[in-house]
């Protein structure tokens, strides 16, 4: 199938909200599998993970600082506005309540801010997942590895070439990486030892499971949010 024919058949909107699932089990059932184990036997399931601090800052800048695409009455920042210390404290409190089964997870914030090890029933099925690290800067290696995964899954070369060209030339409209204010927030965050340690405690298992390096300030931190969700 040629590139433009591929685009006609598979619209990028197909990757929108209708393809999001609250669990691997739900994904399996929706796609006509009786259980998740059957899905994993047939599908190559790939997790795209990101450095927890970069991911947190990116989401905070998009939703709290720039408020990209948000309506006036929309708020996903715990009424903290642009105060990242307030935001992290309230995110932490929410996660503790979720971990203790005292609060139902907020699905929007789950997607942007909850630990990545809480996604997709990770601990139940982690042996079935392959994962790639999404970098904040040079993405060429990431894109190359992504195309290798597609090839391994049997995607036709012409489709891979089409997708490779698209991902390398398409810019995400809500990206905050590289903006001056984002750099300033990140620098101030790393100067606040108490805050950065709290962030590391929230995402402790993301660092461990996916092999991200802890900031020096986070050495020896206690784990304040467990990994049982």
How far apart CA 31 and CA 27 sit, in angstroms, is 6
- With 0.75 as the threshold, say if the pTM is over it: yes
Could you give the angle at the alpha carbon of 173 between the alpha carbons of 157 and 188, nearest 5°?
115
| pLDDT band per the 50, 70, 90 thresholds, residue 223 | confident
**pLDDT, tens digit, 9 for 90 and up, residues 130-189:** 999 999 888 889 999 999 999 999 999 999 999 998 887 776 655 666 688 999 999 999
d(CA 67, CA 70): 6
Distance CA(48)–CA(142), nearest Å, equals 10
Query: What angle, 0 to 180 degrees and rounded to 10, lies between the N-to-C axes of helices 52-60 and 180-191?
Result: 130
Q: Which residues of 98-117 are buried (b: 16+ CB within 10 A; e: fewer)?
A: bbeeeeebbeebbeebbbbb
């Amino acid at each position: 199938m040629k590139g433009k024919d591929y685009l006609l058949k598979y619209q990028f909107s197909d990757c929108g909200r209708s393809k999001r699932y609250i669990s691997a089990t739900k994904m399996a059932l929706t796609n006509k599998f009786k259980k998740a184990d059957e899905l994993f036997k047939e599908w190559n399931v790939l997790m795209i993970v990101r450095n927890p601090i970069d991911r947190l800052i990116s989401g905070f800048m998009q939703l709290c600082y720039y408020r990209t695409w948000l309506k006036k009455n929309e708020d996903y920042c715990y009424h903290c506005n642009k105060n990242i210390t307030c935001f992290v404290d309230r995110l932490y409190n929410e996660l503790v309540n979720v971990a203790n089964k005292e609060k139902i997870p907020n699905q929007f914030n789950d997607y942007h801010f909850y630990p990545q090890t809480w996604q997709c029933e990770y601990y139940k099925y982690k042996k079935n997942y392959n994962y790639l690290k999404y970098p904040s800067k040079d993405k060429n290696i990431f894109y190359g590895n992504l195309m290798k995964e597609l090839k391994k899954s049997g995607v036709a070369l012409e489709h891979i070439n089409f997708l490779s060209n698209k991902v390398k030339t398409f810019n995400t409209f809500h990206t905050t990486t590289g903006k001056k204010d984002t750099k300033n927030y990140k620098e101030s965050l790393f100067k606040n030892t108490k805050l950065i340690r709290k962030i590391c405690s929230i995402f402790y298992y993301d660092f461990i499971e996916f092999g991200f390096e802890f900031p020096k300030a986070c050495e020896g931190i206690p784990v304040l949010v467990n990994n049982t969700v």
